[in-house]
Amino acid sequence: MATITDIGTLINHNPEIHGDCPIIAGTGVTVRRIAIWYKQGYSVEEIAEQINHLSLAQVYAALIYYHANREDIDADIAAEAAEAERLEKLHQTEKLS
């Protein structure tokens, strides 16, 4: 008989990893990372191939979590992009000095 996995166990939070944002349990892979690749057009299979230690079930679980919490994850993605842009501008300013 096949083992049944409670999908609620596939995503968790760890305050010591990535600032307590949702991650795929047992990994350091954030739901945010999976959502970004998904939004760039990667399929579930392609994401699982790129991060080859993840199963299809783990990637699907991350996407389910993303869709259930889309507003929060998208806000997190936008904040991360804004911070990266701020740091890039700061770095460019320092190079010119």
Query: pLDDT tens for residues 33-80?
Result: 999 999 999 999 999 999 999 999 999 999 999 999 999 999 999 999
- The CATH class, in words, for 11-96 is mainly alpha
Give the whole-angstrom CA distance, residue 44 versus residue 82: 27
- Look up the pTM and report it: 0.83
Q: What are the boundaries of each domain within the chain?
A: 11-96
Percentage of the chain modeled with pLDDT above 90:
67
Higher pLDDT: 41 or 16? It is 41
Beta bridge pairs of residue 23: 12, 30
Q: Give the pLDDT mean for 20-30.
A: 92
- The label of the residue with tokens 């804004």 reads 82
